[in-house]
Structures are given as C-alpha cells and as structure tokens.
Chains A and B, each alone.
Chain A
Amino acid sequence: MGKIIEADNLNFGYSERLILKNISFSVDKGDFLGIIGANGSGKSTLIKLMLKILIPFSGDIKLLGENINCFKKWDKVGYVSQKVNSFNGGFPATVEEIVGANLFSKIGLFKLPKKQHKEMVYHALDKVNMQDYGKRLIGNLSGGQQQRVFIARVLVSEPEILFLDEPTVGIDAKSEEAVYCLLARLNRELGLTIVMVTHDIGAITVHANRLICLGQNGLFEHKPEDGMTNEFVSELYGFGVNLHIHDCKNCRK
C-alpha cells in the first residue's frame, strides 16, 4: 500500500513554546489511525498541520505523495471537527444544504448545483443513515445525528483521507458508538483512510488498526493488537487511569 500521509521531522509550538518536537510518522492507504494523548500534547495541532491550517516551524508534510505547500487536491481531504460543541445551532440551514455546501470543488465558482449534485447529497446522507433527515434543520437534530451529518458533508466530495478531531465530544455513549461503527464501516467498505484524534481509548483500540500516542517524550506508535494497559495509559496521561475496552459486537471487524 502506498503512503498517503508522510510527516517528517515536524516542529511546531505556540508563543515560542514547542508543542511538537521532531515528529515523524506515515499513514498507508486504508489505515484507520487513532491519535491519543493528554490535553495540550498537540493532537489537534498535528491535524491542523496536516490540513495546512497551521504552518510548521520546520519539517515536511506530504499528502497523497505531494508536498503540502504545493498540494491542490483539497477535495480529496475531509475534515470533521468538534462541531457539535462549536457550531451555531440556530443557523437556519437544512441538512441537505449543509452537506451540499461541500460540493464546491465539483460544482465550481459562480455555478449553481445541478440534479446530479442533489443525488450526490442523497447518497452521502445514505452512507451515514441520515437520508430521511435531508429537509430537517441542523439545529433540530441530536448531537450524534449532527455529527453524522458533518461526516456526510465531507463524504459528499468523495475524499481519500478523512481527518476527525474528537468527533464524539459532547454526544452520548450510544451515539458515540454509532459514530465509531460508521467510521469503521467506511474504512472497511470504501477503503477510506481515517486519521482520528480522540480521548476515547477504549473505543479507538477496538476500531483503529494503528495508534500513535503523543506524550511528553514525543510521538510513539502503539499497535492495538498489543492491547492497552492501565499502566501504559496512566503514563501517557500522567495520572492513574482504569481502562474499559468497548465491546462493540455490532460492528467489530
């Protein structure tokens, strides 16, 4: 499998404090990569560097084999943030309008969507089992449903890589499990490469095939099949942790 993301010797910080030091890793096509670590360890920062929202002090990033500074195929990259907590819930937009907004690269500047674009919206909603909610206002949905809509929004542009930054923050356990199962299915059935930041170690160890951990000593990789121990996670987060691995019978690989 080809390398779809390559990060080489990345350094980045805020206000002269270095958060990420000499970070190097790569992601293969079809990987489901989980990124874990304590608050402030630079997980979200790392994703923002991959998305060129932030620029590293030094180091190189390649997406789909191309240096990020020359990278143009942003329609092949999807990003789902912690929207449930941050978006304006009173925004008067329907689910269809929000998902369709991400079709910009397919429609083009100054052009209006056509019938085929409406069908693409429907198919994207169908992938996340939200096809019956197209006409509903986004603010009238539950947190879990909203997050599925935001996943459909990135799927509509048919990305090859999907970045998710703590997508299950603020939603209940059942909806959280549904989001993880959905991601696992998209990874398995569509071959979508997924890079996900999360604190839910119990769930990510079940679904991801690779885990990277950001700690005080930098980045290191942990194979999910090796299993997570209380001692390992306690060391990573800096205090005592009791780990509960999810028993996801419905969508286990």
Chain B
Amino acid sequence: MLSIFQYDFMQRAFIVGMLIAIITPCIGVIIVLKRLSMIGDSLSHNSLAGVAAGLAFGLNPVFGAMIFSVIAAFGIERIRKSFPKYSEIAIAVIMSTGIGLAGVLSGFVKNSASFSSFLFGSIVAITDFELYMVIGLSIVVLLAVILLYKELFYITFDEESARLAGIPVRAVNFMFTLLTAVTISIAARTVGTLVISSLMILPVAASMQIAKSYKQTVVFAVVFSIMFTVSGLYISYYANFKPGGTIVIVGVISLVSILFYNNIVSKVFLKRLVKPDCQKY
C-alpha cells in the first residue's frame, strides 16, 4: 500500500493534493452557504483563460490563471452590486467571458497538450516551482481562513448585523474574494479547471448532511475532502485513471451514498416513530 510513495512524483502529488484538499472546502463552505456554488465554475473558466494567456505569451500559466481569476472574482462582486437579488447573473456573465477568452486565447497556444493538461489537471506532473508555490499559497490561504473564521461566519450568516457589530465587512469580503481566486487558480494546475468547483462543493455538501454546527461543517468538509483526494489518488494510480477526475468521482459517489443512507435511515426511523394506532380510531 505504501509502495506508491517510492516515486517522487507521487510524494509530490500527495503533498499538493492534501494541501488543496484542506483549503478548498474552507473556501467552499462560505461559497455554498452564501448560495454562490457556481462561482467556482465561473472563476475556474477564467483561470483557464489565464492559463491560455500564460502559455501563449510565455508567462507562467499558474500565474496567468491567478491574475485572470482575481480580476474575474472582483468582476463578479462588482456586477453583483448592480443586481443585488440576482447573483447568478454576475456569475453567468463572468463565466461566459472566461469561456470566450479561453477559446480565443487557446488559439495562440502552440503546445495544445500543455493547455489540455489544465482542463483535468496534472497533479503527478507538477514542477518544483509549482510545488513551492502551492505550499506557500496554501499556508497563506489557511492562515487567513483561520484568522478570519468568526468574521467570515458572521458575514455569511447575516452581513447587515455583522456590519453593525463592527466587523469591517468590505475588507473581509475583499480578502475572501482574493482567497477564492487564489485557491481556484492554484488548484487548477492539480485537479484541473473543469473539476475544481466540484472539489469545493462536494465535501461541503457531504458535510452538511451530517454536521450539527458550523464548526463541524467546516471540520467534516475538510475531512471528507482529504478522504476523497487520498482515495482518488490511490485509485487513479492503480487503475491508471486521471487523478483529478477520479477524485471528483469518488466525491460524487460518497455524497450519493451519504444521501442514500440518510434517506433510508430517516425513513425507517420515522416509520417506527409514527406508527398509527389504527385500533384507536
């Protein structure tokens, strides 16, 4: 079972995978509870445009993804202010922009194989520079999420009251938008731009099925995310599957299993509780 770690590239894959698995649900919890689940998709499509721009103009593609993702995240926030009750309009507009730009810029990329590797990720083929960048940025994101834990919780639950309580809502929202964009762009290299939003949402969805508090929701989401990533990497190694896609499929199967289990248990439990006493009537 540990033979997988004899290879240097698998050791790196596990380090990067674990870091991404820890930070994505921390961001994902807030996104899901703010009912902005599709924001991950929107930003990841823009990060793909950034990858294309990076490859086309000789920049580091992950750096390109980060710049495009950050601009897109602030674009969503700006458009949301114009349509305060219709957040999905902002997400759709920015997603379309990202898809359009990715399509156009990909035409300038000479090495199409390199561009394709960003679609579904290439966690087993990351360079030293990318490894250090993921480690550094993951530590920054994790520290920020821990330090802003109570502020993010209150803003997510009730932004107006959070403002009245003295929380610098605009500054915290700005920080969170930045963290989301950074997380998506660094995860794009590993699990892929097309599957990153699933990794943000699936562990949170599974966690919300069993958690009994906000704190538990965050902790369980991180645990689920690590489980999905480790299982996905093992399966992909032995079955020769793409790691990014396998991690997501493991997540989907786990979520469906939890939903199925919860439904069966609650139905059986409820049937026992509400046994009609027919003779009484």
Interface residue ranges, A against B (CB under 8 Å): 51, 53, 74-75, 77, 79, 81, 83, 87-88, 91-94, 97-98, 100-102, 104-105, 107, 109-110, 112-113, 135, 137, 153, 157
Contact = CB atoms under 8 A, between A and B. Distances in A.
A51 to B, nearest CB: 6
A70 to B, nearest CB: 15
B168 A109 contact: yes
Contacts of A87: 157-158
Contact of B166 (A74, A91, A93, A153): A74
Given A53-B160, A77-B164, A92 B150 contact: no
A104 B167 contact: yes
Contacts of A107: 150
Contacts of A93: 153, 157, 213-214
A102 B167 CA distance: 9
Given A88-B157, A97-B215, A153-B161, 16 more contacts: A53-B160, A74-B164, A74-B165, A79-B161, A81-B161, A83-B158, A88-B33, A93-B157, A93-B213, A94-B213, A104-B165, A104-B166, A110-B148, A113-B150, A135-B213, A157-B165
B24 interface: no
Nearest to B33: A91
A104 B157 CA distance: 14
Interface in B157-216: 157-158, 160-162, 164-168, 208, 211-216
Contacts of B211: 92
Contact of B213 (A92, A104, A110): A92
A91 B212 CA distance: 10
B164 A94 contact: no
A107 to B, nearest CB: 7
List the 7 closest A-B pairs by CB distance, nearest first.
A101-B154, A93-B214, A94-B213, A110-B147, A104-B165, A92-B217, A105-B166
B41 interface: no
B114 to A, nearest CB: 40
A93 B208 CA distance: 11
B contacts with A: majority SS? helix
25 contacts: A74-B164, A74-B166, A79-B161, A83-B158, A91-B157, A92-B33, A92-B212, A92-B213, A92-B217, A93-B153, A93-B157, A94-B212, A97-B215, A101-B154, A101-B157, A101-B162, A104-B165, A104-B166, A104-B167, A105-B165, A110-B147, A135-B212, A135-B213, A137-B213, A153-B161
Interface residues of B, number: 27
Contacts of B148: 110
Given A93-B153, A101-B157, A110-B147, A79 B214 contact: no
A98 B168 contact: no
Nearest to B166: A105
Given A53-B160, A110-B147, A101 B153 contact: yes
Nearest to B220: A92
A104 B33 contact: no
